Amino acid sequence: MSSPTPDALLGPADVRELAAALGVRPTKQRGQNFVIDANTVRRIVRTAEVRPDDVVVEVGPGLGSLTLALLEAADRVTAVEIDDVLAGALPATVAARMPERAERFALVHSDAMHVGELPGPAPTALVANLPYNVAVPVLLHMLETFPTIERTLVMVQAEVADRLAAGPGSKVYGVPSVKANWYAEVKRAGSIGRNVFWPAPNVDSGLVSLVRRSEPLKTTASRREVFAVVDAAFAQRRKTLRAALAGWAGSAAAAEAALVAAGVSPQARGEALTVEEFARIAEHKE
């Protein structure tokens, strides 16, 4: 593997120049904040533990700051971009700045929420600066759709990072925490300041690491059935599970029966339960 040129990564001037040439103005609607700091993208790649044999999928590559850093480290990179202009420009940016790696790059011009397959070998890692407004649904969709993804590192709004990595009993533990934990061991992996983005967002960002469970959760309930319990439990998080799950079970009495059979107190609240306990409740729906 020949090493890329030292100035292959994008700096602040490069990002603004590319954006100006393309007539791109980052939009709030798509949660676009472009990373303009080469040290930050290299840190993300290091934290993601990207290996030379990895096939990495990146969601929302934007102008290509992180894409280029991933290409330095991985075997292949496939980027999924919804924006017409950005998707059209990225292959040319890769070819111009890293010609020796260009054949190892693929672009999928699509909404990540609707991607069902990717070109080339199956992805082994997901590394992305996810748009703030769709971060959780995109992350969960990718983990469900591509079971070969073993390691994930996403940069998201700090508040979302806290939610994803929260454990039972935490005030911010909720639907994203439980659903992410269905797939993976989840932990906070660092913080990112506002000044490495253009435009600078008015919130801090955080890194979240997800390492897929080596064995799927042991349960006879399907993912869909377990997630239905999770959604019901947190839809009215102030209520006891007996009350919150009444609609899901058909009645409060049926909810109580399922909870008792699962070994969970009907007076407990969703924020106290592990994903394993939610799975047990799902197993006992009459």
Strands 105-109, 205-212: parallel, antiparallel or unpaired by DSSP? unpaired
Per the rule left: phi > 0, alpha: psi between -120 and 50, beta: everything else, 31 is left
How big, in percent rounded to 5, are the helix, strand and coil portions of the chain?
A: 45, 15, 35
202 is in an annotated binding site: no
35 is in an annotated binding site: yes
DSSP β-bridge partners for residue 64: none
Integer Cα distance of 169 and 9 in angstroms: 42
CB 128 within 8 A of CB 59: yes
58 is in an annotated binding site: no
DSSP β-bridge partners for residue 211: 151, 185
Integer Cα distance of 35 and 10 in angstroms: 9
Tokens of 162: 């806290």
The rounded Cα 90 to chain-centroid distance in angstroms is: 21
231 is in an annotated binding site: no
Distances in Å between the Cα of 125 and the Cα atoms of 79, 100, 154, 197, 232 are 12, 22, 11, 23, 31
Reference 186, options 159, 207, 157; nearest CA is 207
Q: Tell the residue number behind the tokens 């999770």, with chain if given.
A: 230
56 is in an annotated binding site: no
33 is in an annotated binding site: yes
Quickly count: other Cβ atoms within 10 Å of residue 219's Cβ: 17
Reference 31, options 152, 121, 160, 148; nearest CA is 160
Radius of gyration of the chain (CA): 21
Task: Extract the annotated binding site.
Answer: 33, 35, 60, 81, 111, 129
Q: Which residues are annotated as a binding site for S-adenosyl-L-methionine?
A: 33, 35, 60, 81, 111, 129
